[in-house]
Amino acid sequence: MKFLIFQHISVEGLGYFEECFKKHGIDIDIHDFSKKDSDVTLKDYDSLWVLGGPMDTDQEEKFPWMRTEKNLISEAVLKRKIPFMGICLGCQLLAETLGGNIRRMKRPEIGVANVTLLDKASSLFHNCPKTFKALHWHSYQATDLPDECDILAKSNLCDIQAFSYQDYAFGIQFHLEETKDTVESWCTVPEYKKSLEQALGSDGINYINKIVQNILPQSKEIAELIVKNFIKKIHK
């Protein structure tokens, strides 16, 4: 089994998900759009995963490669119909591909907060707790999803924390891939550091880092469950 990964910035990779993939014998190819735009095809891949990044979905002029990426996501989801996972920015790109809107939030969601699974939570979250704490780092959210989508999870600040499209394409706005080094690593990105300090103050890095360390064990458990449940979609 082989997955294609779209990455947007070097410090925001698969994180703990990569370890989950190794446990299941999944080979991966990573295409980092910040380093190259060409020479990428969906052929021979069993799934496409699209990760997060500091850019927004409407910044095609600043990041011209986003046009290529959006076309490939559309091909994967709407034409090839291969199992898809979008995380954070990847979640928003999926929503836009399906005809939804991406809107700036009244208040950014940055830090650790509860995620609550809804009644329509699909088999992707099988055996996951109804409510759990997760890392959030976004100021935009998906809205106005088409009828073919089911909203799977929400938080106090974001009505669509996870959604599915026909039970083979999924968007997750929150993060489960974090490791013990994630917060410090992400704060080397000026946009991330600025947004964190605006939300949590000058000591926000230390504050959120301590909380992330505390939730790591559960985040890993849920990440493992999601990967396990996702793989079942491929074997259908």
Q: What is the CATH number of the domain that holds 69?
A: 3.40.50.880
Question: In this structure, which amino acid lies at residue 22?
Answer: K
Stated pTM of the model = 0.95
Q: What is the mean pLDDT of residues 213-228?
A: 97
For 209, the domain range is: 2-234
CA distance 82 to 63: 26
The candidate with the shortest Cα–Cα distance to 226, out of 8, 15, 71, is: 15
Q: Is the pLDDT of residue 236 over 70?
A: no
Catalytic (active site) residue 158: no
pLDDT above 70 coverage of the chain, percent: 98
Q: Which of the residue ranges 37-51, 77-91, 134-148 would you say has the lowest mean pLDDT?
A: 37-51
Q: What is the mean pLDDT of residues 204-232?
A: 95
Which residue in the list 136, 175, 178, 187 is annotated as catalytic?
175
Q: How many domains does the chain have?
A: 1
Which residue in the list 8, 69, 88, 187 is annotated as catalytic?
88
Q: How confident is residue 233, by pLDDT bands cut at 50, 70 and 90?
A: confident
DSSP, residue by residue, 44-71: T-SEEEE---SS-TT-TTT-THHHHHHH
Q: What is the mean pLDDT of the chain?
A: 94
Tens-digit pLDDT profile for residues 55-82: 999 999 999 999 999 999 999 999 999 9
